[in-house]
Amino acid sequence: MLLINGVGPYCIYGEGTYKACATNGTHYLDVTGEFPWVHDMIKKYEATAKASGSIMISQIGVESALSDLAAWTMVQMIKDRFSAPTADVVLSLDEMK
């Protein structure tokens, strides 16, 4: 089982979820940019996660999750529609007026 946590601020709302995943063997991903919180969670729950077999990975998309997902979606669309590989993906978003 995998849980992806996208709620923050993690220093207020994140520890209960992190602890539950570490305790119950649930794999965990989050997108926090809160480095001190991540450090605290590793110190508190690393041994628990190892014992339960849980893989805990924080900061998977700091500042880049949306563009990473857009690029992945574009590559999949090109592959599915045109049966063509992609070499580079350049994404530009302009402010809508």
Confidence of residue 88 (pLDDT cuts 50, 70, 90): confident
In this structure, are 48 and 69 located in the same domain?
A: no
Domain count across the chain: 2
Measured distance CA(11)–CA(74) in Å, rounded: 34
Is 29:60 a contact under the CB 8 Å cutoff? yes
pTM of the model: 0.65
Q: Are residues 12 and 51 in the same domain?
A: yes
Q: Is residue 97 part of a domain?
A: no
In a shared domain, residues 52 and 68 = no
> 19 lies in which domain range?
2-57
Tens of pLDDT, residues 11-44: 999 999 999 999 999 999 998 888 899 999 999 9
Structure tokens at 4: 């992806």
Query: Residues 27, 50: one domain?
Result: yes
